[in-house]
Amino acid sequence: MNASTIFTSTIVSRSDNDDMLVEFSCKNRRTYTVMALVTSAIVCVFTLFGNTLIIVSVVRFKRFFKTSLYVMIANLAASDLVLGLAMILMFVKLIVTDVQGNIEFCMAARVTVIVSYATSSMTLVCIAADRFMAVVFPLKHMLKTNQKKFFCGLMAATWIIPGTVIIAIAVRLTSGETKDIAVCRTGAINEFSVDVVSVVFMIIVIVVCTILYFIILWTVKVRPLKALAMRQHKKTVKKTLLMLAVSAVFVVCWLPFIISSIITFVSPSFERSASCVREFLIFLGYLNSSVNWVVYGLSNRKFRTAFRQIIMCRCCRTKISNNTLKAQSLPENAFNSLYGLSSNIERISIQPVTLH
């Protein structure tokens, strides 16, 4: 049996023996195919459109999106954008039968998805840590937030570390005898131990973010503030709550998949029946990438203004009217929040842009 064999069986072994068999009868159901096609199309279109807007906004108007939080948001958008590209591969897999049993094509699509969500998860932890510093240790955060090279290096690490590990595992899975069990399904191409590590990683991300945001909310509640610092403090809290909402959406989208995975790990007797359930629930996780940019993009005035300018520039091909963005040159203005000093929030107007 070679790597390009198309498997028609609905029972797949995940180990060298037959102790762990996985039921994949759902792959032949019309309901699954239709849902997969519709979900892939929706995720692909919305993810590519929205996250491209986020990245272009940060790059084009970098004077207004230069602090640590926006660097991390751009990285989160990039990881979601990669997921959108992976959806194209999955869409092709669903409609082109010649590649459905090809392990190299299948593994390429799955590796892209896993790297995207590993990077996205690590970025969410970094964002939670950034918000933690902004609220709990505002002075230290103020001194670090404009060090763009440091945060760009940190974001690069969120790609290099998981990418190296996942690609190494993929190379091992596609070599030797493992080619004989190639089925392009989430629970079939991964070894059991890899599956467990992936789910544990997601649980750790959720727990760490929950702890950090709990400390943040507790600090916001108990810390006394002077009147002059109240306005800037509210802005810091507003940004923090916005990123808390992003993490909450992540939990809502991925928790059902995590729970179903835990059930299959703890009770092997449910492995066969629960595998198809996981195949359906993972699409809810994919939807997370098409929702993130809506939460932190459309809810932020600066992003909304940037979106309008980009769309007007590309669609109307005319001069863009003046729009004003509030440039928060010292986001969270830690020194003022801590000591109650007044701050001047500079208002900067973006000059008209003419396309030549």
User: 299: which 2 tokens?
Assistant: 């809810």
Question: Under DSSP, is residue 322 helix (H, G, I), strand (E, B) or coil?
Answer: coil
Helix (H) or strand (E) holding 44: helix 30-60
CA distance 153 to 155: 5
Rounded to 5 degrees, what angle do the CA atoms 94, 100, 106 make? 100
What span, in angstroms and rounded, lies between the C-alpha atoms of 23 and 269?
Answer: 12
Cα gap 67→130, rounded to integer Å:
11
Backbone angles phi, psi at 12, to 5 degrees: -130, 135
Q: State the distance between the two ends of the chain, measured CA to CA, in whole angstroms.
A: 58
Q: What are the residues facing 349 on neighbouring strands?
A: 324
A 10 A CB-CB count for 176 gives 8
pLDDT tens, position by position, for the chain (356 residues)? 333 333 344 444 444 444 444 555 565 567 777 877 888 888 889 999 999 999 999 988 888 887 888 999 999 999 999 998 888 887 787 777 776 667 777 788 888 888 999 999 999 999 999 999 888 888 888 777 777 788 889 999 999 999 998 888 888 777 654 444 445 655 555 567 777 888 899 999 999 999 999 999 898 887 765 544 666 777 788 888 889 999 999 999 999 989 888 887 887 666 666 667 787 888 888 889 899 999 988 888 889 888 888 888 754 444 444 344 544 434 444 434 443 433 443 333 444 444 44
**Domains of the chain, earliest start first:** 11-350 (1.20.1070.10)
Read off the amino acid at residue 248: A
Structure tokens at 95: 């409609």
Q: Which of 303, 343, 347, 331 lies closest to 61, judged by CA?
A: 303
Sign of CA dihedral 153, 303, 300, 298: negative
- The CB density around residue 259, as the number of other CB atoms within 10 Å, is 12
Which residue in this structure is represented by tokens 């300018």?
309
